[in-house]
Chain A
């Protein structure tokens, strides 16, 4: 046996070992790698966007470690248990939301946090996962496509937490929670005529929301989105500056650490919601296309896993996670490039922010648990 052959067999063995480990942990290799790459990109860009802030890098690493632990842990939970836990998670989340409304901490002018002593916890984050799980649980035993009463029941189950979160006020999260629940209903095969009806209802509803429900700053965001030049130093500043950053990046970008918009602090919230613009400025169109392809790969892989899942609950819940992740990407990048109004939605896994990362990775952990190939083992 030559050394080459020995070497090759060792490589083979190592690979097999990794694959075996992933399999044993019920983790999906391609999806796992995709997620790690996104966090890696986020870390590299964060170094530039934060102006070389090492403390933020360490924090991000810590967030990722914590999120990994949560993901791997959840991936080990048997799917059946997740299904059983789903309604309880939903009820708990709802109770906490009400608790926040009554007693919550006020941070950044919004009531979102619940102080649990050791950690501060955002119940709305829990709902991002609990709502789609509960919806999937509700539909699991029922015949699909869902009947009208079923659909209405689900609608109410989605609207209540959404309204509570929107009231905090946190329009971005409310939107994502509603989207996560809505995705389940759509994937369950909601009839087209219901969708058209809903759209028909939405228009007067939107009018009412505009008139009575939206906060001034939320209305301002929409107005500013429609015409950012109207208020270039106020609310329009974010949009104008982020478009300047992206546009001036051109095809190849200004180079890593050389984005003047970001480095000279013209770009606001460049480590969090507007990190997409930093990438656009420093890495150009090519950088953004690469990033978008990476996102599409992750979403596609997640959708593929969902489609190959064994039961309705798994399919609906996983599919919802995949599509909600996609909504994240659209809403964030759409906002940064001026296609959508400014809503506080971070770029998933790339933006700086611990809570969002843990929630996302928890979602993927559940997805991996539900979709893992364990024909003989579990069930």
Chain B
């Protein structure tokens, strides 16, 4: 069947077209309405959100680290400053391949390949847009090496920064401490917003203890960045109101350290392991703070290489070890004046009561017979002479008469067995033995927890289990010098507000005084100590006589290795150096109105405390008490004069 032929109807077709065109127009209108609705949604309803997004898109916030406060000695001599240097910083989000970049930096010998795992962890730990330092304090040569290949390292930039600089190198290092790269542990205590641009933080010493004062407040600046994250000054006229908040520099610290004295003390200990702490008895100011050997804190600010770090930590002389507050030593005879005063306080002897010393001591129930350091004996000794000659027998006897708990109770008033409270971290408390202490120390082994009478006798001459830190020792001597008045030792004397320039003096902190029923007992102890340095029978007289001021002192020898004394004498020369006794000396001066108290410890010294440590103590006193001219003259005299001859057959250990 043929299909019906459809005739073209022009009028109907026009109508059809118009209907379709109208429908299209309606659909078009709906489409436009949809677009307008969407535009209203984006530009009106969600306007605030998108404004935020676009701000975030173009403004990058960059932290500005504050300048770290300076550390100055008591006279304003700079000990820690800031020096401009260049460091290499890496921004993770701009680095195409982090591992590969680090490997190539290692190839250029800018970083140590062995440090890469640590660095990677550090970089991953920070925000992607934070610039993380990978190499501090570039040398000129390193700078040039990197600059030549810079284009190969997108995301790694040379940034000028102020870094910590210690102009005097190793001097006072244990007191000042040092700064180093912020570690994971540091991050737990630091406010990361404040430290976003900071690379270094105090690790030890004053740098750590006063971190809050030294660091200051971070500033920030908003930077206009383009889509690649690059900083742009202006783009078209699309400048923004960029906010800049200036950082507030950290405050400057004035230490109590007198660099002149410090230097003399350091020189005196040169080549020895040992420590010197000098304190002003009138306020607790630490005048000198030496732990020898020392190390260069600039290494840490510069970023240690692995090899340098290993060299430092594995040095048998332990230069990083702060002997002044962390080292514990048997005080030896240096604590005898304290026991003498305890004996007077408890009334077990009178000052003038004599005791006959025949070179050995024994008592029923007190174990083996004890030898005096001088087997010839000191004959009849009263208290003053007992101190001056350091008669062991006398002190064995008064120890027996007092008993350990009374001895400990009296000495604890001088701060032994407890922290001195010095204003840097890491202080150890040593051991002030008592029956109570022993019970606590050996609570896991009841058999050893019993106090034996013999223990008391050893403690009576500062041996046995007794241990003190040099800081505690110096503090106790300062307490004697101040006749019982005690000040907490401190390293920071004043804080200078960098904004206002105002110097805020920190008041000395007085500690509970030593209570004595009769002030006269101080006179006895001090008289004994004066005799040590001045009386013909004084143990240290040959080495320190002739001071222009009146000096009081006490020598000590601390056993490192116990051998029978006769055998020790024979073997002294043969003993390995690190097994030799420590030489100790404590002193203060001038006796009439003491200005300085000092404790000197020379580890494994070739000779005893009087012979070896007392001249060092005297030099420190000289440096502090004499004018620079007088001191220079004194030093010249010392160099020309032959070393004082030791008394004939002088036994070691007094």
Contact = CB atoms under 8 A, between A and B. Distances in A.
Contact of B47 (A247, A263, A319, A339): A247
Given A189-B20, A244-B53, A319-B17, A251 B32 contact: no
B44 A248 contact: no
Contacts of B228: 265
A208 interface: no
B13 interface: yes
Contacts of B10: 312
A124 interface: no
Contacts of B1: none
Contact of B238 (A189, A259, A296, A337): A259
Contacts of A246: 39, 42-43, 50
Given A266-B227, A280-B43, A299 B53 contact: no
Interface stretch (A38-46, A281-289, A351-359): A281-289
B240 interface: yes
B238 A307 contact: no
Given A144-B13, A250-B44, A289-B36, A263 B18 contact: no
B411 interface: no
Interface residues on A, range: 35 or more
A257 B38 contact: no
Contacts of A76: none
B227 to A, nearest CB: 4
Given A263-B235, A280-B43, A307-B17, A296 B32 contact: yes
Contact of B54 (A248, A284, A338): A248
Contacts of A306: 17, 21
Among A144, A188, A338, A339, chain B packs the most CB atoms within 10 A around the CB of A144
Contacts of B44: 250-251, 285
A334 B38 CA distance: 9
A296 to B, nearest CB: 6
A280 B35 CA distance: 12
A244 B34 contact: no
B25 A300 contact: yes
Interface string B15-44: 011111100110010011011101110111
A116 interface: no
B236 A187 contact: no
B151 interface: no
B17 to A, nearest CB: 5
Given A285-B44, A333-B35, A264 B225 contact: yes
Nearest to B19: A189
B149 interface: no
Interface string B228-253: 10001001111010000000000000
Given A248-B51, A266-B58, A143 B8 contact: yes
Interface in A227-286: 241, 243-251, 254-255, 257-261, 263-266, 280, 284-285
Contact of B43 (A247, A263, A319, A338): A247
Contacts of A300: 25
B22 to A, nearest CB: 9
A258 B328 CA distance: 70
B528 to A, nearest CB: 82
A245 B17 contact: no
A247 to B, nearest CB: 3
A143 B10 CA distance: 9
Given A243-B50, A260-B58, A264-B238, A189 B42 contact: no
A189 B31 CA distance: 21
Contacts of A333: 35
Interface string A23-60: 00000000000000000000000001001100000000
A222 interface: no
A189 B17 contact: yes
A247 B236 contact: no
B9 interface: yes
Contacts of B7: 143
A323 to B, nearest CB: 6
B224 interface: yes
Nearest to B42: A247
Contacts of A307: 17-18, 21
B637 interface: no
Among B18, B19, B227, chain A packs the most CB atoms within 10 A around the CB of B227
Given A145-B16, A264-B58, A339 B38 contact: yes
B38 to A, nearest CB: 5
Interface residues on B, range: 35 or more
Contacts of B42: 243, 246-247, 280, 337
B39 A337 contact: yes
A310 to B, nearest CB: 10
B43 A257 contact: no
A144 B31 CA distance: 27
Contacts of B43: 246-247, 249-251, 280, 284-285, 288
A303 interface: yes
B368 interface: no
A237 to B, nearest CB: 9
Contacts of B225: 264
Among A143, A255, A299, chain B packs the most CB atoms within 10 A around the CB of A143
B236 A303 contact: no
A186 interface: yes
Nearest to A145: B16
Given A52-B236, A248-B47, A292-B35, A187 B54 contact: no
B226 interface: yes
B6 interface: yes
A320 to B, nearest CB: 10
Given A244-B57, A319-B21, A264 B235 contact: yes
Contact of B50 (A142, A248, A303): A248
Given A187-B17, A246-B42, A285-B40, A266 B236 contact: no
A330 interface: yes
A339 B57 contact: no
Contacts of B232: 264
A163 interface: no
Contact of A245 (B14, B34, B54, B224): B54
Contacts of A319: 17, 20-21, 24
Interface of A: 48, 51-52, 141-145, 147, 183, 186-189, 241, 243-251, 254-255, 257-261, 263-266, 280, 284-285, 288-289, 292, 296, 299-300, 303, 306-307, 312, 315-316, 319, 323, 326, 330, 333-334, 337-339
26 contacts: A48-B236, A143-B7, A186-B24, A187-B17, A187-B24, A188-B17, A241-B57, A243-B50, A246-B43, A247-B43, A247-B46, A248-B50, A248-B53, A250-B44, A250-B51, A255-B237, A257-B238, A258-B236, A258-B237, A280-B43, A289-B36, A300-B25, A303-B24, A319-B17, A319-B21, A330-B35
Give the 10 A-B residue pairs with the shortest CB-CB distance, closest first: A247-B50, A143-B6, A263-B236, A248-B54, A263-B238, A189-B16, A247-B42, A248-B50, A260-B238, A263-B235
Given A247-B42, A255-B237, A285-B43, 14 more contacts: A143-B8, A145-B16, A244-B50, A244-B54, A260-B58, A260-B235, A260-B238, A263-B238, A264-B224, A264-B235, A265-B227, A288-B39, A326-B24, A338-B38
